[in-house]
A and B are shown apart, each in its own frame.
Chain A
């Protein structure tokens, strides 16, 4: 159990913060609906309501970056299994997410900096008018903090996507070369074919590493099931884009 805590502290803390946020928001609702004084209600909303949303933001950032950090570790392991040297300098997963988490925490700190004075102002007066104004500023702070946290998390995700593109570039090139050398008169589906597998929710170019070990079958571009999305690894979205362009030109 202590080892699990050591390795998965971010998952545990993240889900715990989301759970605490749920409890705080529920108890705030109970307090607000049980109070007859508007100034009291505003104070509860500023502390428990908006504070609960800050906790939710912190928990979400921790859970999402924990997932991305694990994905980075898997990419490190996968790179070890490749028969050629690493494509670039290797970064530790903890270092990758640390910066994103610090920026996200600073963003949410901004929200708290707006929130605390607003709560002090609201709870210090029985007049609801200045309280409503202070609450508006607290909401503005929360929006700014949420945006900063979201952008910081997005930054981590973009680094992972760019590493995956670099790592799987040889497959993508092989897929492109393979498609270029395919004889147009070959039997079966045309060279516009993409590959799909029953286990997958995306369609792929021939040679995509995501299909390794799976029984994939070729389908023509026009027959791609609508529910399937293009694969990011082999950039099958290029096929989807071409298809859309063709459709719009044809009317």
Chain B
């Protein structure tokens, strides 16, 4: 498998999963940081870096994963459009069979 080509085509999915994994690690580390610290000021610092930062990474990763899926759909639709324009046979819907009309 060509890793560099795979990374080029799947960069959004790879980055998305990477950010989600990193976000999960941040949240877990924040939990341990908060539970180990007796000082409220230090706990708030952990909540900001690990908690809010982790949530940010999870959200950004999920957005990238969704974008990767949308890109896949684009590629699929582009391929269907190319095939249609190349004259691939198309099954006609029953309603249009009753009232045929070329466009």
Contact = CB atoms under 8 A, between A and B. Distances in A.
A22 B55 CA distance: 11
Contact of B70 (A32, A68, A78, A233): A68
Interface residues of A, number: 55
A78 B45 contact: no
Contacts of A210: 76, 79-80
Interface of A: 18, 21-22, 25-26, 28-29, 32-33, 35-38, 41-42, 44-45, 49-50, 52-53, 56-57, 59-60, 63-64, 67-68, 70-71, 74-75, 77-78, 81-85, 87, 128, 169-171, 173-174, 201, 207, 209-210, 212-214, 233
Nearest to B66: A64
A176 to B, nearest CB: 11
Contact of B45 (A32, A60, A75, A83): A32
A78 B62 CA distance: 28
Contacts of A71: 70, 73-74, 77
B32 interface: no
B28 interface: no
Q: Is the interface of A mostly helix, strand, loop or mixed?
A: helix
B93 interface: yes
B36 to A, nearest CB: 16
B59 A84 contact: no
A21 B56 contact: yes
Given A32-B44, A38-B40, A201-B72, A52 B84 contact: no
Interface of B: 40-41, 44-45, 47-49, 52-53, 55-56, 59-60, 62-63, 66-67, 70-74, 76-86, 88, 90-96, 100-103
B56 A63 contact: no
Nearest to A83: B90
A226 B88 CA distance: 31
Contacts, number: 136
Given A82-B84, A84-B93, A63 B48 contact: no
B79 A214 contact: yes
A44 B49 CA distance: 12
A209 B67 contact: no
Given A28-B52, A33-B48, A36-B41, A212 B59 contact: no
Contact of B96 (A26, A33, A84): A84
Given A71-B70, A83-B90, A213-B82, A41 B41 contact: yes
B81 A53 contact: no
Contacts of B83: 209, 212-213
A25 B63 contact: no
B63 A18 contact: yes
A169 B52 CA distance: 45
A33 B52 CA distance: 14
Nearest to B67: A67
B103 A85 contact: yes
B93 A32 contact: no
